[in-house]
């Protein structure tokens, strides 16, 4: 995006602040940029009121900086305020409105609120097409994000349609070997894996890796992302050694580029923790990574953030794998407490926390508590996704498998499940 314009209606000290804020942003000093843009917002509101377009622009730039810092909830707050002002001051089909809708979609997607993300991308798309035409990079990227949303929301066929449209547009603009093409190939790889076209999915991941390995400037290659996504596929296939190798390659690349505890590096660490907890079963190594990961998440995000909740879930998984059920329950309860504050009691993060707690109480043979928590998980998912959805079936199948492992015969397992979910 272009820098904020230095308007002719400047308040005292505004020009200098704009220059400093734009310079901080361009030098990737995003924390400083946010502070300066927020100062500009306050100064401008005092002089012109809340609905001046410059106030909207400053909110937008603060949102962009927070997005770069991966602080998506805070970025959303600024983008929503920018959208509110632009919707008052500009025509409904203005490109600035489309770009704000687009950024809201990205932030909601990365904050794991894909339904809201899809809504904003779908609002942005027709505006972009009307203002700048079909064969434009912003249109291509919006198609790609819509596809990503559909894939996460369980409709890979629809996802494939949108991402293929994105590929066609971006190829026309940038050719075969552009970094954006690698990003699209990664998405196509994930979608084909979700459609059980495993070999075709792997072919796309290999294409993405080939492009990224040939990009000389590491800052723009996103090679770590390719290693990571290919590793996730191998993890889901149960190829733990190959997954570990790919995750370690991803981690080394991201660590060299961004630092050991940058969010991109930490994402690789989460995947390595999963491998060491559930696959290669080195719980000491898993706990080592997880404890450092949790401290860094709290330091970066504060106490109440979905990423911090996830860190408690990870610690709970490790404790459960080590048969330390009481410690695992404590971690899962902390994750539940955070997610309830963030999302309320009708969210899939919360359903997953209840499901994990129910499974632990089942392992401890505390059936009354197990049923209480599993019913809550079941009811939330039925309300969110419908009784016949895969997410609801997954809860039932997981519990059935756990009962069988603990010695129940098939009939006894079915009867127990009926007592919970009917």
Domain boundary among 188, 221, 254: 221
Q: What is the Cα–Cα distance from 354 to 372, expressed in whole angstroms?
A: 9
| Domains identified in the chain, total number | 3
The Cβ-side half-sphere exposure at 98, using a 13 Å CA radius, reads 18
Say which residue, 127 or 262, is predicted with more confidence: 127
Residue 299 lies in a domain: no
In a domain, 309, yes or no: no
Question: At residue 364, what are phi and psi to the nearest 5 degrees?
Answer: -85, 0
Provide the residue range defining the domain that includes 142.
133-221
pLDDT of residue 336 exceeding 90: yes
Same domain? 413 vs 372: yes
8 and 99 share one domain: yes
More confident residue, 315 or 216: 315
- Give the model's pLDDT for residue 222: 83
How confident is the model at residue 326, as a pLDDT? 95
* Summary mean pLDDT of the chain: 89
Among 190, 332, 239, CA closest to 340: 332
Among residues 63, 84, 48, the alpha carbon closest in space to that of 1 is found at 63
Q: Is pLDDT above 90 for 317?
A: yes
Same domain for 23 and 62?
yes
Structure token digits, residue 188: 């196509």
Same domain, 22 and 106: yes
Query: Is residue 246 in a domain?
Result: no
Q: Are residues 31 and 100 in the same domain?
A: yes
Looking at residue 12, what is its pLDDT?
A: 66
Confidence of residue 315 (pLDDT cuts 50, 70, 90): very high
* 323 vs 210: CA distance, rounded Å: 43
**50 and 148 together in one domain:** no
Residues 11 and 101 in one domain: yes
pLDDT tens digits, one per residue of 232-248: 888 988 899 999 999 99
* 139 and 107 within one domain: no
Residue ending a domain, choose from 202, 221, 240: 221
Q: For the residues 180-206, what does the mean pLDDT come to?
A: 93
**Judgement on whether residues 28 and 89 belong to the same structural domain of the protein:** yes
Distances (CA, A) of 210 to 178, 245, 253, 289: 11, 17, 16, 30
324-351: average pLDDT? 94
Residue 238 lies in a domain: no
228, part of any domain = no
Is 273 within a domain? Answer: no
Who's near 18: CB < 8 A, 6+ residues apart?
A: 4, 6, 40
CA dist 250 and 264 (Å) reads 9
Which pLDDT tens digit goes with each residue over 73-118?
899 999 999 999 999 999 999 999 999 999 999 999 998 889 999 9
The answer as to whether 289 is a domain residue is no
- Tens digits of residue pLDDT in 250-279: 999 998 888 877 778 888 999 999 999 989
Residues 188 and 156 in one domain: yes
Residue 77 sits in a domain of what CATH number? 1.25.40.10
In a domain, 291, yes or no: no
Q: How far is CA 6 from CA 2, 33, 35, 95, 227, in A?
A: 12, 16, 18, 20, 42
Residue bearing tokens 């895969």: 390
Both 164 and 95 in a single domain?
no
**Same domain for 101 and 150?**
no
Mean pLDDT of 42-49: 91
pLDDT score for 9: 62
353: helix, strand or coil: helix
Last residue of a domain, one of 191, 206, 221: 221
Instruction: Quickly state the pLDDT bin for 2 (edges 50, 70, 90).
Output: very low
For residue 6, name the pLDDT band (cuts at 50, 70, 90): very low
């Amino acid at each position: 995006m272009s820098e904020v314009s230095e308007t002719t209606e400047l308040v005292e000290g505004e020009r200098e602040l704009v220059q400093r804020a734009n310079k901080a942003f361009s030098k990737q000093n995003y924390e400083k940029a946010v502070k300066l843009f927020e100062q500009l917002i306050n100064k401008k509101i005092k002089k012109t009121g809340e609905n001046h377009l410059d106030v909207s622009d400053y909110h937008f730039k603060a949102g962009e900086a927070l997005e770069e810092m991966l602080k998506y909830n805070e970025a959303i707050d600024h983008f929503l305020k920018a959208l509110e002002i632009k919707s008052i001051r500009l025509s409904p089909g203005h490109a600035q409105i489309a770009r704000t809708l687009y950024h809201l979609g990205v932030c909601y997607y990365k904050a794991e609120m894909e339904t809201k993300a899809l809504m904003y991308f779908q609002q942005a798309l027709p505006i972009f097409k009307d203002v700048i035409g079909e064969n434009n990079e912003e249109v291509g990227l919006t198609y790609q994000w819509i596809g990503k949303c559909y894939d996460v929301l369980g409709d890979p066929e629809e996802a494939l349609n949108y991402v293929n449209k994105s590929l066609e547009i971006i190829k026309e603009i940038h050719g075969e070997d552009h970094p954006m093409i690698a990003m699209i190939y990664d998405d196509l790889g994930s979608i084909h894996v979700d459609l059980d076209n495993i070999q075709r999915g792997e072919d796309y991941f290999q294409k993405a890796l080939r492009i990224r390995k040939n990009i000389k400037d590491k800052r723009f290659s996103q090679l770590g992302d390719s290693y990571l996504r290919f590793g996730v596929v191998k993890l889901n296939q149960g190829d733990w050694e190959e997954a570990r190798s790919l995750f370690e390659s991803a981690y080394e690349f991201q660590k060299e580029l961004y630092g050991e505890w940058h969010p991109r590096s930490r994402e690789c660490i989460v995947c390595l923790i999963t491998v060491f907890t559930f696959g290669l079963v080195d719980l000491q190594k898993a706990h080592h990574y997880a404890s450092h990961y949790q401290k860094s998440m709290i330091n970066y995000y504060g106490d109440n953030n979905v990423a911090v909740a996830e860190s408690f879930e990870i610690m709970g998984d490790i404790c459960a794998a080590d048969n330390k059920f009481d410690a695992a329950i404590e971690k899962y309860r902390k994750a539940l407490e955070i997610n309830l504050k963030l999302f309320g009691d009708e969210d899939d993060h919360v359903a997953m926390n209840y499901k994990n707690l129910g499974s632990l109480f089942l392992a401890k043979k505390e059936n009354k508590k197990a049923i209480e928590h599993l019913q809550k998980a079941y009811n939330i998912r039925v309300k969110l996704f419908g009784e016949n959805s895969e997410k609801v079936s997954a809860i039932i199948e997981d519990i059935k498998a756990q009962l069988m492992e603990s010695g129940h015969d098939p009939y006894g397992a079915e009867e127990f499940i009926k007592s919970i979910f009917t």
